[in-house]
Amino acid sequence: MATTRVAVGGVSRRSACGRGRGRGGATRRAVTGNENDDDAGGATPWDDANDGPDPLSNDVLLRIVRSEIDDASVNRLVWNALGYRRAVELDAETLTAIEVWTPDEVFPNWKKNYPEPPDVIGVTRKYDPKIDAPVKAACAALTRSVPEEHKQGLKTTLKPLGWGGFKMEGLTPNMTRRAQVANWLLFYRRELRGVSIEELRARREAKRAEEEAQGKTDRPTGTTRQSVV
């Protein structure tokens, strides 16, 4: 089994990793007053009362695009949502705590290409193609997996909180990737979280039939062909 080891940072497990998908089919009931307002989506609503604050709340997404959460922690949020699972081991030589990430519950299609969790942000902030190409590819794959109807979800969701997107002037690769990652996390929160793989596969097949009927199967992004499931 592939594993990834990284040094443990100072971010708490809850804020960095969030929660799993509930592969066993556990259902979270809706909570009155939930700020995320995801009732129209296909995911099970987050239960603040039982599970505590949502690690993918609108406030967290806003902090991502405002660069108020460090790159490594944003990676961890994505890894956990994709299904990589984290444990902490003690390095026998250095006696330091090391994070170990394993692909225990990674979405099937994503796991084929990424048995180990990829950097989707670019924590080195070095954009030489030799260094950045794998990061660029992983973030692009994540972005392409978002269905067309969810492509503008982040702007719509965060606009009431004062963020309506970035302007071209001063835009950096890190800012772009943060927006792309935050949009994927929003899509995951609304459509994937807490839903069994069996149910997601059934939905994918129904959507694929719809795409075939509408002649949309060859689109380069946003179709079931690019799905993480």
In the chain, DSSP finds a helix count (H) and a strand count (E) of 9, 3
pTM: 0.86
Coil, helix or strand for 100?
strand
pLDDT at 178: 98
Query: In this structure, is the dihedral angle defined by the CA atoms of residues 39, 41, 45 and 48, taken in order, positive or negative?
Result: negative
Give the DSSP H/E element, type plus range, for residue 209: helix 197-214
pLDDT at 24: 35
List helix spans (H) across 11-57.
Answer: 13-17, 48-51
Closest CA to 140 of 221, 63, 64: 221
Q: How far apart are CA 78 and CA 114, in angstroms?
A: 13
pLDDT, tens digit, 9 for 90 and up, residues 190-215: 999 999 999 999 999 999 999 999 99
pLDDT, tens digit, 9 for 90 and up, residues 132-143: 999 999 999 999
Q: How far apart are CA 16 and CA 227, in angstroms?
A: 24
- As a dihedral over the C-alpha atoms of residue 129, residue 133, residue 17, residue 30, rounded to 10 degrees, the angle is 120
Q: How far apart are CA 127 and CA 184, in angstroms?
A: 22
Q: How far apart are CA 5 and CA 135, in angstroms?
A: 17
Determine contact, residues 99/88, Cβ cutoff 8 Å: yes
Average pLDDT per block of 10 residues along the chain, 229 residues long:
61 36 38 51 92 97 98 98 95 91 96 98 97 98 97 97 95 98 98 97 96 94 96
Set out the domains of the chain in order of their start, with CATH numbers: 4-198 (1.10.418.90)
pLDDT at 53: 97
pLDDT at 169: 94
